[in-house]
Amino acid sequence: MPRALITGITGQDGIYLAEFLALKGYEIFGLLRGQNNPKATAVQQAVPSIKLLGGDLRDLPSLIGAMEIAKPDEVYNLGAISFVGLSWDQAELTSGITGMGVLRVLEALRIFTQNDMSRIRFYQASSSEMFGKVREVPQRETTAFHPRSPYGVAKAFGHHLTVNYRESYGAHACAGILFNHESPRRGHEFVTRKVTRGAARIALGLQDRLVLGNLEARRDWGFAGDYVEAMWLMLQQERPEDYVIATGQTHSIRDLLDIAFQRVGIPNWQSHVLQDPRLFRPADVDLLVGDASRARDELGWKPRGDFRTLIEMMVDADLADGEQNEKQAAGSGNRHR
Choose the binding region for ligand GDR from 27-35, 110-118, 140-148, 212-220 (rule: CB under 6 A).
212-220
Site for ligand GDR in 247-276 (CB under 6 A): 253
> Any contact of residue 77 with ligand GDR (CB under 6 A)?
no
Q: C-alpha 25: how far from its chain's center?
A: 23
**Choice among 127, 128, 149, 183 that is catalytic:** 127
> Which residues, other chains included, contact 59 with Cβ-Cβ below 8 Å and sequence gap of 6+?
104
Q: Smaller CB distance to ligand GDR: residue 18 or 245?
A: 245
Handedness of CA 283, 249, 125, 184 (dihedral sign): positive
**Choice among 76, 151, 227, 243 that is catalytic:** 151
> Any contact of residue 82 with ligand GDR (CB under 6 A)?
yes
CB of 230 to ligand GDR, least distance (A): 13
From candidates 39, 51, 146, 281, binder to ligand GDR by CB under 6 A? 281
Site for ligand GDR in 108-167 (CB under 6 A): 127-129
CB of 242 to ligand GDR, least distance (A): 15
> Any contact of residue 311 with ligand GDR (CB under 6 A)?
no
- In the residue annotation, 129 being an active-site residue is answered as yes
How crowded is residue 211: how many other Cβ atoms within 10 Å of its Cβ? 12
> Any contact of residue 84 with ligand GDR (CB under 6 A)?
yes
| Cβ(150)–Cβ(94) below 8 Å | yes
Q: Smaller CB distance to ligand GDR: residue 18 or 178?
A: 178
> Any contact of residue 94 with ligand GDR (CB under 6 A)?
no
Q: Smaller CB distance to ligand GDR: residue 69 or 144?
A: 144
- In the residue annotation, 151 being an active-site residue is answered as yes
Q: How many helices (H) and strands (E) would you count in the chain?
A: 12, 13
Q: Can you tell me the distance from the alpha carbon of 209 to that of 248, in angstroms, rounded to the nearest whole number?
A: 32
3-state secondary structure of 229: helix
> Any contact of residue 323 with ligand GDR (CB under 6 A)?
no
b/e burial code for range 158-187 (CB count within 10 A of at least 16 → b): bbebbbebbeebebbbbbbbbbbbbbbbbe
- Tell me the β-bridge partners of 4: 28, 74
From candidates 214, 237, 252, 325, binder to ligand GDR by CB under 6 A? 214
Q: Can you tell me the distance from the alpha carbon of 75 to that of 313, in angstroms, rounded to the nearest whole number?
A: 31
CA-derived radius of gyration, the chain:
20
Choose the binding region for ligand GDR from 21-29, 52-60, 278-286, 310-318 (rule: CB under 6 A).
278-286
**Choice among 129, 182, 183, 243 that is catalytic:** 129
Site for ligand GDR in 24-53 (CB under 6 A): none
> Any contact of residue 212 with ligand GDR (CB under 6 A)?
yes
How crowded is residue 92: how many other Cβ atoms within 10 Å of its Cβ? 8
Nearest Cα to 255, choosing from 331, 307, 323? 307
Which residues are marked as active site?
127, 129, 151
Binding-site ranges for ligand GDR (CB under 6 A): 82, 84-85, 127-129, 179-180, 189-191, 194, 212-214, 217, 219, 253, 279, 281, 284-285
